[in-house]
Structure 1
């Protein structure tokens, strides 16, 4: 039986323990009583003990039935016990308990069980069943009172109710937090007057999972009557999507005026269960609503005469065709019945929403914690351009990480920004970049301040989290930057991080959550005092002092935060469904009109209604089950990490990159090096997520494959995809990235492990039969991929012709971009010939294009950037199939000296003279090594 330390979550532990108990009780039932070994009894008893800690927090099977099964075990009623445990384990796996009562007595059972698997039901049948959830009631009651509470709740059910629910009763704040964290079925919490603070039992298993998620030690000084409101606030922090209802014997007027977190309603000495029942259903219904999707489905049912664009509308051009009936058969009728270019029938306009789309966006804003949310139907690339164009005017200075998505670079071109690129820390060994250190950002802001340009700095643009999973300490970055520039705007590209909102640990590092926390904190007296004390301390501080100090922002600082999210990448949405979330104190007064114009500029006048509907439904899903799905996503990723890291055969050829591999020690205050240690089990990551400058998103598993002798692209294409049908997005020179998502199952993880083991076995067989020269060739390929790696180049600089002065590094990327439209201003240079020789002669060569190799997938050159010898060496060492912007037949597109001189003359800027550099041996050796 697996050790408890091998489990990342209590829910996964619960599932496996019920399965194990099913096997053990089945064996007990098969054995004659006299032949049952003490070991078998001991295993069953241990499983019951472990499950006893967990089952109190779930409605099914419930503690009453669980205790009955334990009594069956004590009385040696093994046949009846095996039947009951089998029914429970089966119902938990199939989800049957969500649709009907599951009898655990053989006399009451029927034959429906084997045919009641949710996965076997048609989508139409599943859509017709009433959704099931559980209500957590927090009240210290005895067994009789608990049964009375549950009975009253159960008696409130009506046939016309849209949902069905069961009640879970726990006595204390601590038990309520445990239940909310591990029972994903809970959708509402009722806090009654009898709530206590501490649990009545120790939790040797659950304590490890609970530690650090919600610290309640500060509640010890509260009066018992304040435990209920405090619990509502804690629930709002860990699971803000839940509805809370507070029942109190105090003055409801006094209680209602306090901070109650996500409490929807306060009841005075509530015993009217009908009213409570109706409020619970109404609260869930508010999250279940999908105004636009509902309007679209209703529209599809209406008989209409189509006299507008789109022959495909209502499917007419399909059904009348003799040649494309296969398309209609493939997609089915509904998608065509729902197609229209009209904004009638409740469908609303995406460009000027005032009906169902507006409602859907408002619901999304609530779900994601923003002040305003806007839908986009052509991807986050467009979202990025909208935000940049809405906020940036020509000659505004924007600080941006150089390895951000290319849409940001193009957006800055369109806006006419002066771009100041920031360098991320390099991971040379794996040919990837990490993220931009906070010290680098502060240093750049202070340098711009020193030359009198801080007033022109408009925005900081960073990727959170990066494609490879590096996550910023968002709140700290924003506060320290605001301490230097109090009105700085932040754009966080969270294209790969939309799911983070629905996990209590991950949520802390999202832009919207951090913005809301900062808004509230900046208004407190404690923050004002901390700011005043630091200002006095730093009165004569140097820039170096500021760089070494954790700065406190002014209480008057403006919180101006934007995030862009690819809903389609990490949540449920059709491709290109994305959202822009806004939490800007100055949006209404300063930005709204410009944002509207930018939105109009980049959004199609014929948006795809199916994408909008999927965004609406995807929002519903994450509000009602995002917590569960993200939890399972993390479980799958952690299981993958553990399986690969501990498999002796896989360890020969593969390595899961750890936190220490991807984040240098200087940025890990907690000292966390890995998420799973074979000797200690799961490492507590909560301290790291609370304090470290950077953390690693565990849902992304980067696998170093250099030990196989294959580069990342070959391993992805020729091995994983072509041979085994495993699809992945990203590779580096010697690694591949496996991304789990909310649809990843444990079966998918198991299949991947099987494939990797098969690959490792085939390599073993290949090397066993290989000749001496074949083995030598393999060793050389491995050494080339694991030892001979090209250093990643930093951003060099913008050429002087595209800079206003030499006091600071920002450059006019727009002028360079449009200068390249003139063919007479450009030439081509061969990497190994004319370009290499020019750099060796000390000439300044300037890129006329974005040069984007895949991988790593970000620009290593932008228009107007001086090509350094380090960049050339990196390009010559690249061993990839795609380099966007580079033509192998012609070479690298560069500006002619005459064009540069003309631009410089217009700016009245003398060009630097060429300085010949010492001749070095041509770097053909590097090229050969890469090949």
Structure 2
């Protein structure tokens, strides 16, 4: 039997064990005395032992049914056993157990046995009640457990909106394993009889305990505190769940305790109906979708449309003789729900007061923010809204240089003085990592020495990057606030919206870090630690400050914004995005300007379908986000293992691991890879908790230079044209495969099949190649894997766009608009006139954003001096697209006359500002 160490996830282990049990019991029932009979019996025994530890955490098939199957095996009732296992396995695979009772006796009828939930019509699936499971935590006897389950079952009513089954576990540790293993659990009932420690000894399950955190502190707990502590720990692991605490303690003892996710406390009573109603009400609060529901109701109303939008109610389509195919393709509901009115129970996105406002409030709860705002034209607009709301002309903003272009344009619109930060380069793969914390601290300390710290407004970073590099968000904010206690943080989490719903990932999101810091900065322990460090750092120079993990003052302001592309990583129509706010000064300082910026960039005719999809997407992640993110990570991990263990694939491909994409200095845990064939799986919790940077496991970067194809060619001519596999990120010698909450194990299997087929074709091609053809292949591989141009750092802004030589910030807005006048610009050829201009001693200054694709980051911005390294990089990258560059004309640059004129105007402005300051 395959080792448990081969599995990253206990969910995958469970699924495969049931499949193996079905095959083995079926084979044994057909030939009990056959050649493989003895081996099959031994295998079935091992499978039962393995599953017995796992099934205790799931309601279906349940302990009683599972033990019955074991007895069938022990009593040699092989045909009955094979039948029961087959029915259980099918129900688990199709999800049938979620919508109806599954009879397990051979004599029972199951007319729906072969119906697969996945192939049911959407209409049919909406008619069934959603199913979930309730975890009861109490160390009770089998008789008491049956009594408990029976009482809950008796509470069911036909009018209940949901259906649930119960799972009973005895201990606090079992409860933590259960909520992190069983994604069906939506509520927890904590009773007074629970014990502390689990009796389960299975590494793949106990690994889940690491993700709950704080287990060391449990040793000092007294039994009466087990229940409250469990509620607190589940709040850290799965904050979306509901808990109900049944206690024998007095009101006075419970009052004032932090009870985490506990929605209600029941005092020493067994009122099952009241508990049942509270459980349903708690799930209903997450299930409701105010705007989507309002839109559905609106679509049912008879209306007369004397307004804009002929397509409203589908009238312009149904009356048409020429566009009926559009109506047939989309169906009627999308047009019935289309309107430009804000009446009929709907709402205005610009001035929400009804269902949109309520939907945004629920999204705020789900994502852990203080305020959340919907956007219907993408995160590019969200970024500009936040920047315009917070940054005033002349404010200094520290910006990740290779961030999304919307941030650069946002700086232009806001008139910011931009201080670009360089990420660490990965020259071997033609991509950047992320900005080291030391670099950020260095820039802040330089600005402080120059007397400009009061003008520093914001730090803007991408988390996680397109390639999957994730910051230690809390540490970055802590150390920056130690230098600048009112610094505003904007985390571009366009590709990280799913992270809130995985316990490992959540700790590195902007909203979670903000909430943790707000709580910690209020504590006496933090105040004492800060005072102690200040004494130790008295008179410290910059080098010491750079080498010390700085502690922020207790009075630091937590001001955090996160923009998320919901449509990229969660369920939403394209361009559906959110802005999450966790800013202590939002109400007093930002709210009015934020509203104006929101009005500036948001359409007065937003798409209601996008808003509704954001509302429904929020419902989904609160009820099954944990499950979907768990499966997403599992799919990516399976892909890593499949490639790393396939001898043919390793000849031509390599999955880049943390050790390849994050330098050793930034990996304090020492973790180099999440999987290798010799050591098996690494529990990633340790590195996600400690390291400065970590690698998002859901992004699989595959080095393809060994095939002789560059990343762009491999993407377009091989994956897309030949096999229909879509990806959207490449570098010189890599392609990026991004899993998402819709990725299945079948999708991963297909990709592996394709890669194997490509590798086989390459093997055959090389076997049949002539000596010269082989040399040509080897040369292409060498050029892609070894002879790569070094990635250029940001050079500098030209002096005409700077205030002084002390610090590097520049006026990108002036440079951007100076280029509007063609008389200020010229074109220089990369291999001709630009070289002559640089050799003459003049600064060559870009008048445009220049973005080679791939890799897709700006190597030049308006006002930036062109360096030799940048030119060498542009020449060496034989890419088909360089955005902002005209191959027929050359590089657009400022004329020397324009730069001199700009320098004079800049000097005059600075002089005037100094005079004003003196007055």
C-alpha contact (below 8 Å) 2:211/2:504 kept by paired residues: no
Paired with 1:213 and 1:78, the residues of 2 have a C-alpha distance of 41
Paired with 1:840 and 1:793, the residues of 2 have a C-alpha distance of 19
C-alpha contact (below 8 Å) 1:847/1:894 kept by paired residues: yes
Aligned position for 2:5: 5
Aligned position for 2:914: none
Aligned position for 2:411: 412
C-alpha contact (below 8 Å) 1:9/1:209 kept by paired residues: no
C-alpha contact (below 8 Å) 2:173/2:209 kept by paired residues: no
Aligned position for 1:62: 62
Report the TM-score, using the length of structure 2 for normalisation. 0.98
Aligned position for 1:926: none
Aligned position for 1:354: 353
1:814 matched to 2:817? The reply is no
Paired with 1:870 and 1:437, the residues of 2 have a C-alpha distance of 21
TM-aligned CA distance change 1:82 to 1:215, over 3 Å: farther
Aligned position for 2:52: 52
Q: Show the 5 A alignment for 1:723-738.
A: 723-738=722-737
Paired with 2:251 and 2:120, the residues of 1 have a C-alpha distance of 47
> How much has 1:212 moved relative to structure 2?
4.8
Aligned position for 1:886: 885
Paired with 1:277 and 1:240, the residues of 2 have a C-alpha distance of 21
CA deviations on 1:108-160 (whole Å, 9 max, x unpaired) are 2334211x210121000001110000000111100000000000011111000
Q: Show the 5 A alignment for 1:793-872.
A: 793-872=792-871
Paired with 1:726 and 1:346, the residues of 2 have a C-alpha distance of 43
SS of match in other structure, 2:60: coil
SS of match in other structure, 1:152: helix
Paired with 2:626 and 2:472, the residues of 1 have a C-alpha distance of 22
1:282 matched to 2:281? The reply is yes
1:783 matched to 2:778? The reply is no
CA deviations on 1:651-694 (whole Å, 9 max, x unpaired) are 11111001100000000000000010101111121110000000
SS of match in other structure, 1:468: coil
Paired with 2:8 and 2:192, the residues of 1 have a C-alpha distance of 34
Paired with 1:17 and 1:828, the residues of 2 have a C-alpha distance of 66
> How much has 1:408 moved relative to structure 2?
0.1
CA deviations on 1:596-648 (whole Å, 9 max, x unpaired) are 00000000000000000000000000000000000000010000000011111
Paired with 1:404 and 1:909, the residues of 2 have a C-alpha distance of 33
C-alpha contact (below 8 Å) 1:288/1:620 kept by paired residues: yes
C-alpha contact (below 8 Å) 1:252/1:266 kept by paired residues: no
Q: Show the 5 A alignment for 1:35-184.
A: 37-114=37-114, 116-184=115-183
Paired with 1:659 and 1:45, the residues of 2 have a C-alpha distance of 39
> How much has 1:30 moved relative to structure 2?
1.1
Please, which moves more after superposition, 353-362 or 264-273?
Answer: 264-273
> How much has 1:37 moved relative to structure 2?
3.8
Paired with 1:76 and 1:372, the residues of 2 have a C-alpha distance of 62
> How much has 1:253 moved relative to structure 2?
4.4
C-alpha contact (below 8 Å) 1:10/1:209 kept by paired residues: no
Please, which moves more after superposition, 252-261 or 881-890?
Answer: 252-261
Paired with 2:173 and 2:30, the residues of 1 have a C-alpha distance of 41
Unaligned ranges ≥5, structure 1: 911-931
Aligned position for 1:344: 343
Paired with 1:623 and 1:208, the residues of 2 have a C-alpha distance of 24
> How much has 1:17 moved relative to structure 2?
0.5
Paired with 1:26 and 1:186, the residues of 2 have a C-alpha distance of 31
SS of match in other structure, 2:735: strand
C-alpha contact (below 8 Å) 2:486/2:559 kept by paired residues: yes
Paired with 1:835 and 1:344, the residues of 2 have a C-alpha distance of 60
SS of match in other structure, 2:737: strand
Unaligned ranges ≥5, structure 2: 910-919
Q: Show the 5 A alignment for 1:559-570.
A: 559-570=558-569
Paired with 1:366 and 1:431, the residues of 2 have a C-alpha distance of 40
> How much has 1:257 moved relative to structure 2?
1.9
> How much has 1:525 moved relative to structure 2?
0.6
Paired with 1:824 and 1:444, the residues of 2 have a C-alpha distance of 36
Q: Show the 5 A alignment for 1:644-683.
A: 644-683=643-682
C-alpha contact (below 8 Å) 2:430/2:731 kept by paired residues: yes
Paired with 1:270 and 1:342, the residues of 2 have a C-alpha distance of 51
Aligned position for 2:572: 573
Tell me how large the CA RMSD over aligned residues is: 1.2
Paired with 1:13 and 1:402, the residues of 2 have a C-alpha distance of 43
Paired with 1:483 and 1:183, the residues of 2 have a C-alpha distance of 41
Aligned position for 2:772: 773
> How much has 1:78 moved relative to structure 2?
1.1
SS of match in other structure, 2:39: helix
TM-aligned CA distance change 1:736 to 1:35, over 3 Å: closer
C-alpha contact (below 8 Å) 2:212/2:233 kept by paired residues: no
SS of match in other structure, 1:804: coil
C-alpha contact (below 8 Å) 1:172/1:199 kept by paired residues: yes
SS of match in other structure, 2:214: coil
C-alpha contact (below 8 Å) 1:213/1:686 kept by paired residues: no
TM-aligned CA distance change 1:594 to 1:205, over 3 Å: closer
C-alpha contact (below 8 Å) 2:102/2:110 kept by paired residues: no
CA deviations on 1:334-380 (whole Å, 9 max, x unpaired) are 00000000001111000000000000000000000000000000000
> How much has 1:201 moved relative to structure 2?
3.7
CA deviations on 1:773-812 (whole Å, 9 max, x unpaired) are 2111111111110011000000000000000111110000
Please, which moves more after superposition, 634-643 or 99-108?
Answer: 99-108
SS of match in other structure, 1:490: strand
Aligned position for 2:912: none
1:268 matched to 2:267? The reply is yes
Paired with 1:205 and 1:25, the residues of 2 have a C-alpha distance of 25
Aligned position for 1:198: 197
Please, which moves more after superposition, 95-104 or 510-519?
Answer: 95-104
Report the TM-score, using the length of structure 1 for normalisation. 0.97
TM-aligned CA distance change 1:200 to 1:908, over 3 Å: closer
> How much has 1:534 moved relative to structure 2?
0.4
Paired with 2:249 and 2:692, the residues of 1 have a C-alpha distance of 44
C-alpha contact (below 8 Å) 1:801/1:909 kept by paired residues: no
CA deviations on 1:741-769 (whole Å, 9 max, x unpaired) are 00000000000001111111111111111
C-alpha contact (below 8 Å) 2:559/2:585 kept by paired residues: yes
CA deviations on 1:567-591 (whole Å, 9 max, x unpaired) are 0000000000000000000000000
Aligned position for 1:901: 900
Paired with 2:532 and 2:873, the residues of 1 have a C-alpha distance of 48
Paired with 1:312 and 1:874, the residues of 2 have a C-alpha distance of 50
> How much has 1:909 moved relative to structure 2?
8.3
Paired with 2:836 and 2:774, the residues of 1 have a C-alpha distance of 38
> How much has 1:518 moved relative to structure 2?
0.2
Paired with 1:326 and 1:909, the residues of 2 have a C-alpha distance of 64
Paired with 2:52 and 2:836, the residues of 1 have a C-alpha distance of 74
